[in-house]
Structure 1
C-alpha cells in the first residue's frame, strides 16, 4: 500500500476542487489534450472515439444485475471526498467473498502501464472509500483484444494517481493550457486538428506571431 495520504483538513465535500476520473487518463496520455477538454470544452470525434462511444452505450446503462454469486453494477457514480475525485465506473463486480472489482471498458488495444491503468486505479481508490474495504485489483476490458487485463493496484500506481490528481487540479485552477507535444501521440489523437501541434511547437513562425500579437507599439503622441 502507498504511504501517500490526503493533506489534513482536505476531507469533506466541497473543500477540494473536484477532478474527473477521465481527466486523469487524458492527462496521462497528453496534458494538452486534457487541457483542451477541461478548459475549452473541446472534443473531436474520430473512428476510435466513435467506437468507444458505441461500446459504452452497451455498458453505461445504470443497472444492478446478478450472475451466479457475482453482483454487477453498471454506470456506477463514484467519488473520494478526501482526494477530490469523482466519476463513473463502467462496471463494478461485487463478489460473494466481498471482493470489489472495477472494470474499465476500452475499444482499442490494451497497453500495460498505460493511461487506462491510471483510470482503473483511480476508480479503485474511490471504491475503497465508498465500500470501506481494500480494492487490490481492477481490470481493463479491451474490445479489440476481447479480454480483460488485470491491473494490480500497487503503491506506485496509487502514488501516480494522487500526483496526477494534484496536477490536474492545478491545471483547472491556473486555467493555463499546456504546450503541445507534437510527437507520435498526435497521430492517434482526434483533437490534433484543433490542437495544431506542429504549428505551435517551437517554430520561428509561431514565436514571431506571438511577438507581433503582444508587442505594444509606442504612442508617438506620448513621446
Structure 2
C-alpha cells in the first residue's frame, strides 16, 4: 500500500462508534461541532505540543509524536508517549533511544473528554497507536492509558489479542469503504443523540422513507389483493 493511501488513525474511533459517521467525515468531508467535540479539541490542545520533550528522572515524555502503521494503513499523531527507563533489556519489550542511556519501555497515553465509555471506541484508537509504535520501534506494547478530562484519571487498557483483532478489522473496513466509495446507510440508535453529525446524517428521516422499488412492489401487491 502506498503511503498516499494511508488513512487518518484518529478516524478509527469514528468507525468504532458508527460506520456512517466515519464515512460522512472521511469520505464525504462533512464535519460539525457540538459541545463534546469542542471540549475534546480544547483538551487535546493542552496535550499536543510537537516541541515538548520532557525528562523526569527515569521517564521521558514526548507529545504529538507522529505515527505510521503499514499493517493498518494508518497515519496520525499520538497525544503522549512515555518512555520508561528499564535497568535491563527485556527482549521484545524495550528499545534504545538516541542519545539516551539504558533501555526504554513505551506507554502510549491518549487524552479524552468526559468519562470512560461502555464501548471500545477509545480503546481501539489507543491500540492503533500502540501497533504503529510497535512497528516503528520494534517492540511489543502490552498496555496503554486513556486519560479522561472529566474524571482526571488514567484508565489502563490491556492490548489483548481480541482488541488488536478488532482494531485490524476496523482499519480494513475503512480502506474497503474508501475503495468502494460507499457511505453506509443510517442505523438509528442511542448513539445518534451523542453525534455531532446527526443533522447531516438525518437517520430518522432516512429510516422513514423506503426505497421506491419497495413502495411500488407494495402497491402492486395491494392492487392484486383487491382484484
Structure 1-normalised TM-score? 0.83
Higher alpha-carbon deviation: 60-69 or 84-93 = 60-69
Structure with greater strand share of residues = 2
Is 1:159 matched with 2:165? yes
The match for 1:95 is: 84
Q: Structure 1 residues 200, 135: closer, same or farther in 2, change over 3 A?
A: same
For residues 117 and 189 of structure 1, the distance between their equivalents in structure 2, rounded to whole angstroms, comes to 19
The match for 1:27 is: 15
The unaligned stretches of length 5 or more in structure 1 are 1-9, 213-223
Contact 1:70–1:94 (Cα < 8 Å) also in 2: yes
Q: Structure 1 residues 38, 210: closer, same or farther in 2, change over 3 A?
A: farther
Contact 1:52–1:106 (Cα < 8 Å) also in 2: yes
Q: Structure 1 residues 113, 193: closer, same or farther in 2, change over 3 A?
A: closer
Q: How does 1:18-167 map to 2 (within 5 A)?
A: 18-62=6-50, 63-97=52-86, 98-111=104-117, 113-167=119-173
Higher alpha-carbon deviation: 77-86 or 50-59 = 77-86
Q: Structure 1 residues 127, 112: closer, same or farther in 2, change over 3 A?
A: farther
For residues 210 and 74 of structure 1, the distance between their equivalents in structure 2, rounded to whole angstroms, comes to 53
Contact 1:16–1:84 (Cα < 8 Å) also in 2: no
Q: How does 1:185-196 map to 2 (within 5 A)?
A: 185-196=191-202
User: What is the CA distance between 1:22 and its match in structure 2?
Assistant: 1.2
User: What is the CA distance between 1:83 and its match in structure 2?
Assistant: 3.0
For residues 212 and 31 of structure 2, the distance between their equivalents in structure 1, rounded to whole angstroms, comes to 28
Q: Structure 1 residues 210, 168: closer, same or farther in 2, change over 3 A?
A: farther
Q: Superposition RMSD on alpha carbons, in Å?
A: 2.0
Question: Which consecutive segments of 4 or more residues in structure 1 shift more than 2 A?
Answer: 205-212
SS at the partner of 2:20? helix
User: What is the CA distance between 1:42 and its match in structure 2?
Assistant: 0.8
SS at the partner of 2:107? strand
The unaligned stretches of length 5 or more in structure 2 are 87-103, 217-227
The match for 1:215 is: none
User: What is the CA distance between 1:210 and its match in structure 2?
Assistant: 10
Q: Aligned residue pairs: how many?
A: 198
The match for 2:186 is: 180
For residues 37 and 183 of structure 2, the distance between their equivalents in structure 1, rounded to whole angstroms, comes to 22
SS at the partner of 2:10? helix
